[in-house]
Structure formats: structure tokens, C-alpha cells
Amino acid sequence: MDLLQFLTSLSVLLLSGTGVTDTLRTSLDPSLEIYKKMFEVKRREQLLALKNLAQLNDVHQQYKILDVMLKGLFKVHAGRGQLMVLEDSRTVLTAAGVLPDGPFPQDEKLKDAFSQVVENTAFFGDVVLRFPRIVHHYFDHNSNWNLLIRWGISFCNQSGVFDQGPHSPILSLMAQELGISEKHSDFQNPFKVDRTEIMK
């Protein structure tokens, strides 16, 4: 294949949106590749914590732990639930002009904001799918959480972190479970079990 044929094929793939742009981006951005490896370690820790929580036989204890976890994740203050971690990170990234599909940030504050968005959005997705009734109890009554999670999902989808990895389905499944996107006809929460979750 000569150079002209290769460039023509490449331009067709880029224009068709087959994901080649993400592959090119990550191969040209070693910082993102390094972060993706660190993200995998963080995800293993998060999933292990949730596995241990799901194995508790005391639903009341699960609820108490999730209550503390969600309030910590969302930094609930004075009875007003706010997604401060996500909101603060969005403010930092937006003020600095960091785009989710742009170069991976080099500044430590921006790296931290980027990772807070990606890791907390993914973790919230895990919690939503494993404990949907409890999360809906909080989420459905707070429009600010809805807006910020929508933004977080969009950011994550464009970031390149979830591309073709084992965690890529979490964003779509979470969006469907929360009613952010329309449920596919074959949607099934892979973690939903027939047990009663107690809500206060």
C-alpha cells in the first residue's frame, strides 16, 4: 500500500468516527496512557470495596455505609446535597480551558481535577448499578446531582480513559439506570438482584 492509499484510508476512518481518533490520541499522549494504568489500580480498589460492601448480610449496615459514602462523594452540607467534588473539579478544568478530549493536563491541580471527575464518576456508576434503589433515593431528589453527573458522564466519554477498556460499559449502564439516557430495549442492570434494599 503506498502512502496516498494509506492516507486516504486513514482519512475515511477518521471521518467515519470509528474510534481511530481515540487510538491515535492515546498513542500520541503518553501521559494519558500512564494515567489509564493508574486509573486501573484505583478501579480495582473501588470495586473491591464495593464487593465487600455487597457481601455484607446486614442491609441496614449497607445503607448506613452507602449514606456516608454518598454524602462524602457528594460532600453534602447543611442538608443541601451538592456534588462539590465534581462541581469544584468542573470549575477548575473549565477555568483552565481543559477539554476532555484534549491533551492530558500536566499541572498537578489540573491532573487532580481530571482524576477526580473520572474516578468519582466511574465509582458513582458502580454504586448506582449495585445499589440502585438507595442511590435513586438520593439522586432523584437532587437536580444539581443530575446535571453534574450528566456533565461527568460526558467528560468521561470524551476523555479517552474508558475507550475499549473493561470499564467502558459503566457510563452507558449508569446513564440508563439513572434515566439520563433512554434505556435500550435489551438494557439489564448486570448487578441487580432480587433483594429488598431498606431505605429510611
> pLDDT by residue (tens digit) across 155-188?
999 999 998 778 889 999 999 999 999 999 999 8
Contact between residue 182 and residue 121 where contact means Cβ atoms under 8 Å apart:
no
Domain boundaries, the chain: 30-178
Between 75 and 56, residue with greater pLDDT = 56
* Lowest-confidence pick of 11-15, 66-70, 98-102: 11-15
Please enumerate in sequence order all residues whose Cβ is within 8 A of that of 170, keeping only pairs 6 or more positions apart, or say none.
122, 125, 126, 129, 162
Strands (E), 61-174: none
* CA distances from residue 175 to 12, 97, 107, 195 in whole angstroms, order as listed: 31, 26, 30, 22
Contacts 24+ apart (CB under 8 A), 92-95: 93/117, 93/155
**pLDDT tens column, 60-98:** 888 888 888 777 766 654 444 445 678 889 999 999 999
